[in-house]
């Protein structure tokens, strides 16, 4: 069966979740395009969006409608060409609603797994829980045709484990989108030992059509992206705890978030990123990877304490950030969680956080925030200059940043040495395209 035939009936499981909703959006847009190709005239397209949360369906529909409009607004040149033979579609205000309507018309939403029964392709994006995923995959396999292909978005569970336990005979691949799937350019592809060549080809073609950068990873828990992110975050947690003697734990979290964002010139501080992914999701990834990797402690009790307090981060239905390690006001960190008091300690530039900033010291010359460098054609030179200055700066902030950079590089190198990644270039490509870093962890800056 060729790619286009497979696209006629697709299902997303966990469609109302953070990743599921983004994957749904990408697929709906792609199916609207396929439907309008002359060679597909008259073919029917169906995208089943299934989630256990019935109450989330209205929100999902509104999200799809609003985001498809945004995609339409950004693709007017493409859409004009696509609708060039439709005489009634002339202006953008004709074309964009038609595209939204074409995309929405393929969608069916519901909570019943039976909706998937004619699907040739299924994306699985439910919680990061192996037993839940295996149970669903088994149920789906008993409902769907024998040749249905399964693309799982798991962040950490080995694909061989899912394949073997759900008995899929190689009709599964890790197609790991990054958060948010519409924005992040990366698709990390993880085959298991038996993944069929048809599924590999399908996945490569899909990634190409969605204009994603493909990086292959080997089937070792956590893969490349979370292999790095998990260890990077655990390092920050251990440093925050070490600094607690001088700054309190909340102060240590504040310090490590600030250092990792500003002095490493990243789009977010590490604790903000954990909140963005979800403290509970990050905790699941940590538990899972820890259970498969021997000789390394990849858990931390701080995560469980946050989960026990139900301080989980993640996003609201409208995409805004929920409070986690940090408290957010207008989308920006404004406070830090104090576990002992179970309340947020708000940043206070004239008080405690101003005092911590003074102890961290001035930033070296050549500092530019991430956003400034993002579209700067000379960013590599500027980063090189800044990191050189960082090395000759004798402040607490500079020392913490250099140790952090060194640790991040070691994590990257370890991913290559332990054959999770095929090369340093692949590790760097994952961080550049899936995390929007400006430079890869394996670099000559340090």
Q: Nearer Cβ to ligand NAD, position 20 or 158?
A: 20
Residues 108-137 that bind ligand NAD (CB under 6 A): 125-128, 132, 136
Q: Judged by CB under 6 A, does residue 230 bind ligand NAD?
A: no
Q: Judged by CB under 6 A, does residue 26 bind ligand NAD?
A: no
C-alpha–C-alpha distance, residues 222 and 229, integer Å: 9
Q: HSE of 334 in the Cβ direction (CA atoms, 13 Å)?
A: 9
Considering CB under 6 A, how many residues would be counted as binding ligand NAD? 25
C-alpha–C-alpha distance, residues 414 and 230, integer Å: 13
Q: Nearer Cβ to ligand NAD, position 123 or 254?
A: 123
Q: Judged by CB under 6 A, does residue 14 bind ligand NAD?
A: yes
Q: Nearer Cβ to ligand NAD, position 128 or 426?
A: 128
For residues 11 and 122, the answer to whether their CB atoms sit within 8 Å is yes
C-alpha–C-alpha distance, residues 421 and 404, integer Å: 21
Binder to ligand NAD among 7, 10, 16, 100 (CB under 6 A)?
A: 16
Read out DSSP for 272-306? HHHHHH-HHHHHHHHHHHHHH-TTS----HHHHHH
Binder to ligand NAD among 26, 47, 277, 421 (CB under 6 A)?
A: 277
Residue facing ligand NAD at closest CB distance: 17
Q: Nearer Cβ to ligand NAD, position 19 or 401?
A: 19
Those residues whose C-beta lies under 8 Å from the C-beta of residue 296, and which sit 6 or more positions away, are 290
Supply angle C-alpha 243, 403, 291, rounded to 5: 80
Please report how close the Cβ of residue 322 comes to ligand NAD at its closest, in angstroms: 11
Q: Judged by CB under 6 A, does residue 24 bind ligand NAD?
A: no
Residues 164-193 that bind ligand NAD (CB under 6 A): 178-179
For residues 218 and 419, the answer to whether their CB atoms sit within 8 Å is yes
Q: Which has the closest alpha carbon to 434: 184, 255, 252, 210?
A: 184
Q: Nearer Cβ to ligand NAD, position 225 or 252?
A: 225
**Binding span for ligand NAD by CB under 6 A among 51-59, 167-175, 193-201, 211-219:** 51-59
List the 107-110 sheet strands across, edge first.
107-110, 46-50, 9-13, 121-124, 149-152, 172-177, 186-191, 213-216
Please report how close the Cβ of residue 293 comes to ligand NAD at its closest, in angstroms: 16
Q: Nearer Cβ to ligand NAD, position 54 or 348?
A: 54
Both structure tokens of 111? 């909570």
C-alpha–C-alpha distance, residues 367 and 160, integer Å: 45
Both structure tokens of 154? 């798991």
Please report how close the Cβ of residue 281 comes to ligand NAD at its closest, in angstroms: 5
Q: Judged by CB under 6 A, does residue 17 bind ligand NAD?
A: yes
Q: Judged by CB under 6 A, does residue 143 bind ligand NAD?
A: no
3-state secondary structure of 206: helix
C-alpha–C-alpha distance, residues 328 and 335, integer Å: 7
Q: Judged by CB under 6 A, does residue 222 bind ligand NAD?
A: no
For residues 161 and 132, the answer to whether their CB atoms sit within 8 Å is no
Binder to ligand NAD among 7, 10, 12, 19 (CB under 6 A)?
A: 19
Q: Name the residues that contact ligand NAD, by CB under 6 A.
A: 13-14, 16-20, 50-53, 125-128, 132, 136, 153-155, 178-179, 277-278, 281
């Amino acid at each position: 069966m060729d790619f286009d035939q497979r696209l006629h009936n697709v299902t997303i499981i966990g469609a109302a979740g953070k990743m599921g909703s983004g994957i749904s959006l990408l697929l709906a847009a792609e199916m609207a395009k396929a439907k309008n190709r002359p060679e597909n005239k008259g073919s029917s397209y169906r995208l089943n969006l299934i989630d256990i949360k019935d109450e989330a369906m209205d929100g999902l529909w509104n999200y799809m409608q609003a985001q498809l409009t945004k995609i339409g607004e950004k693709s007017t040149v493409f859409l004009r060409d696509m609708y060039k033979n439709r005489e009634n579609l002339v202006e953008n205000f004709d074309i964009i609603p038609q595209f939204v309507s074409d995309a929405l018309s393929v969608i069916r939403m519901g909570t019943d797994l039976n909706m998937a029964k004619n699907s040739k392709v299924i994306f699985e994006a439910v919680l990061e829980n192996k037993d839940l995923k295996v149970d669903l995959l088994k149920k789906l396999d008993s409902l769907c045709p024998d040749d249905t292909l399964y693309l799982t978005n798991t962040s950490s569970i080995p694909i061989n484990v899912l394949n073997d336990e759900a008995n899929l005979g190689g009709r599964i691949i890790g197609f790991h989108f990054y958060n948010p799937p519409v924005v992040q350019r990366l698709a990390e592809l993880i085959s298991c030992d038996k993944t069929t060549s048809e599924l590999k080809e399908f996945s490569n073609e899909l990634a190409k059509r969605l204009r994603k950068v493909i990086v292959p990873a080997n089937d070792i828990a956590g893969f490349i992206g979370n292999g790095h992110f998990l260890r990077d975050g655990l390092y920050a947690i251990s440093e925050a705890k070490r600094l607690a003697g001088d700054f309190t734990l909340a102060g240590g979290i504040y310090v490590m978030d600030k250092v990792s964002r500003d002095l490493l010139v990243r789009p977010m501080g590490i604790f903000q990123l954990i909140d963005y992914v979800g403290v509970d999701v990050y905790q699941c990834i940590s538990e899972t990877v820890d259970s498969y990797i021997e000789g390394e402690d990849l858990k931390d009790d701080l995560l469980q304490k946050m989960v026990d307090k139900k301080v989980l981060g993640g996003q609201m239905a409208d995409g805004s950030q929920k409070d986690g390690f940090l408290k957010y006001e207008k989308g920006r960190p404004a406070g830090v969680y104090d576990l002992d008091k179970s309340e947020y300690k708000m940043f206070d530039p004239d008080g405690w956080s101003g005092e911590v900033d003074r102890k961290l010291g001035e930033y070296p010359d050549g500092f530019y925030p991430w956003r400034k460098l993002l579209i700067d054609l000379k960013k590599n030179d500027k980063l090189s200059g800044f990191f050189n200055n960082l090395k000759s700066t004798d402040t607490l902030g500079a020392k913490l940043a250099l140790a952090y950079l060194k640790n991040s590089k070691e994590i990257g190198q370890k991913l290559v040495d332990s054959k999770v990644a095929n090369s340093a270039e692949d590790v760097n490509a994952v961080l550049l395209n899936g995390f929007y870093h400006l430079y890869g962890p394996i670099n000559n800056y340090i």
